Chain A
Amino acid sequence: MSTIAEDLTRLEEIVRRLEADDVELDAALALFEEGVARLRAARERLAAADLKVQAVLDEAGGDLRLRDMKE
């Protein structure tokens, strides 16, 4: 699953390519569709964002474990 950061970075790239004139129409349509999907995903992620706070526990064997923290 992509992160919002990845969505934003990719969206910037898509928009830049669409705004440049050298992209073929088919490719432009594909970029546009991907851009719309990325936009929707990023907005949904923002709306659904739920803060996660986890404690990092260093187990005896040297393994790391995460435990959700109640704030």
Chain B
Amino acid sequence: MPRNPSLNATGPMALSFLSDLMTPTDDVWSVTQLTTAAKRIVEGSFERPLWIRGEVVGCKAWPSGHWYFNLRDAASQVRCCLWKRDVVRGAKPPADGTEVFVLARPGMYEAKGEFQLNVVRMLPTAAIGQAQRELERVKLLLQKEGLFDPARKRPLPAYVATLAVVTSTAGAALRDVVTVARRRWPGVRVLVVGARVQGDGAVGELVRALRLVNRLPGVEVCIVGRGGGDREDLAAFNTEAVCRALAAVRVPTISAVGHETDISLTDLVADVRAATPSAAAELALSDQRDVRRALDDLASRLAGGLAGRTRLGLERVERAGDRLQAAMEAGLERRRHHVARLAAQLDALSPLRVLERGYAVPSGPDGRVLKRRAEFRPGEPFTLRVADGRVDARVEP
């Protein structure tokens, strides 16, 4: 129960209530105080805008650009106002009886003491049904063509140096991606391909932007998305044209449309789906702390690898030395045998060995060996060489 703000009411409620009744002149609310208090109650009771369904009556666009109308159902009606800034450009006020959804904040129009809805969006329910049918059509078509096929999904690269972001240059999505990039991987280059993400022209701009990504050199991953919005705001991401343009992007793609609960068709077409643009950036970019750890690990393995390799080298040299020595020793041994064998052969061939067997070698006074009868002249001396020495001899005259 609100208190009249002009009273310094500190006593018990009941007493104050009684005194209010008994002495009206002591406790008078002004109309403005009342409407202000009522406004506070009404507006304080609804934290966020509500979707309300009803039938439009008496909708009129004023020269100011604002629209005023009543929304009613079988039993009740409420005053509504759609401010100029929220009127969709080119839209016409709906005819009486049109069934609509309005997104509105309940409030008080103090000047008239009227309870009213401040409408920020108005959608004919028929259009919603149509949009839903179109969504189902596109979904079925793309599904049949295999665009949602898990086998189509490409993995994201491990380290991304250049990242393309297709989103509104003014939106929260870009800010979120940049914030995450600065924290995780400040070395990255973010190429922003701007496109309106809602309203008229969004589909065309998104398609154009996605095609443009294919012309950017060096791009390794493409994020397409926007911050959370109403279902109607996400419509462009459910269109066939945008889905096909996304499927045609030549690098792995991440779709990050809206909040956790919204799933768009681009989420199904992209290689990876992220709940939010921040989450998309987290998925796309490695954490520099992980990379520092990886570098430390590589550094120690590098040092260890060389040490191991050097040790191996030394061992190999030592082994080679041993082999060399063994080879030399084996060679010497072989030579020794060879010499011994040669010596044995020499020994066998030695004439001295022949003499041992009882032969004798005659030689003349001049030392020549006498091999023929004619060389023995009668009366001449000669020498016989036998095993243990010489014997002087003479040819019989």
Residue on A with the closest CB to B193? A56
Whether B373 is near chain A, meaning CB under 8 Å from some CB there, is no
Name the contact of A39 in the complex, choosing from B164, B169, B187, B299 (C-beta under 8 A). Answer: B299
Q: Please report which residues of chain B, range 287-312, place their CB below 8 angstroms from some CB of chain A when the two chains form the complex.
A: 288, 291-292, 294-295, 298-299, 301-302, 304-306, 308-310, 312
| Chain B hits for A51, CB < 8 A | 178, 181-182, 186-188, 190
| Chain B hits for A66, CB < 8 A | 191
Are A4's CB and B298's CB within 8 A? no
The residue among B178, B190, B310 with the most chain A CB atoms within 10 A of its own CB is B190
Residue on A with the closest CB to B166? A56
Given known A52-B190, A56-B192, A64-B215, contact A21–B312 (CB-CB < 8 A): yes
Are A14's CB and B159's CB within 8 A? no
Number of chain B residues close to chain A: CB under 8 A: 42
**A56 CA to B195 CA, complexed, in Å:** 11
Are B169's CB and A32's CB within 8 A? no
Are B294's CB and A46's CB within 8 A? no
Name the contact of A54 in the complex, choosing from B185, B191, B298 (C-beta under 8 A). Answer: B191
Given known A35-B302, A54-B191, contact A43–B310 (CB-CB < 8 A): no
Are B295's CB and A39's CB within 8 A? yes
1/0 per residue, CB under 8 A from A, across B176-211: the answer is: 001001100111111111100000000000001000
**A5 CA to B221 CA, complexed, in Å:** 14
Q: Please report which residues of chain A, range 1-45, place their CB below 8 angstroms from some CB of chain B when the two chains form the complex.
A: 3-5, 8, 11-12, 14-15, 18-19, 21, 23, 25, 28-29, 32, 35-36, 39, 42-43, 45
Q: What is the interface of chain A, defined by CB distance below 8 A to chain B?
A: 3-5, 8, 11-12, 14-15, 18-19, 21, 23, 25, 28-29, 32, 35-36, 39, 42-43, 45-46, 49-56, 58, 64, 66, 69, 71
CB pairs A–B below 8 angstroms (10 shown): A5-B160, A15-B302, A15-B305, A18-B309, A25-B313, A32-B306, A39-B299, A49-B185, A51-B186, A55-B191
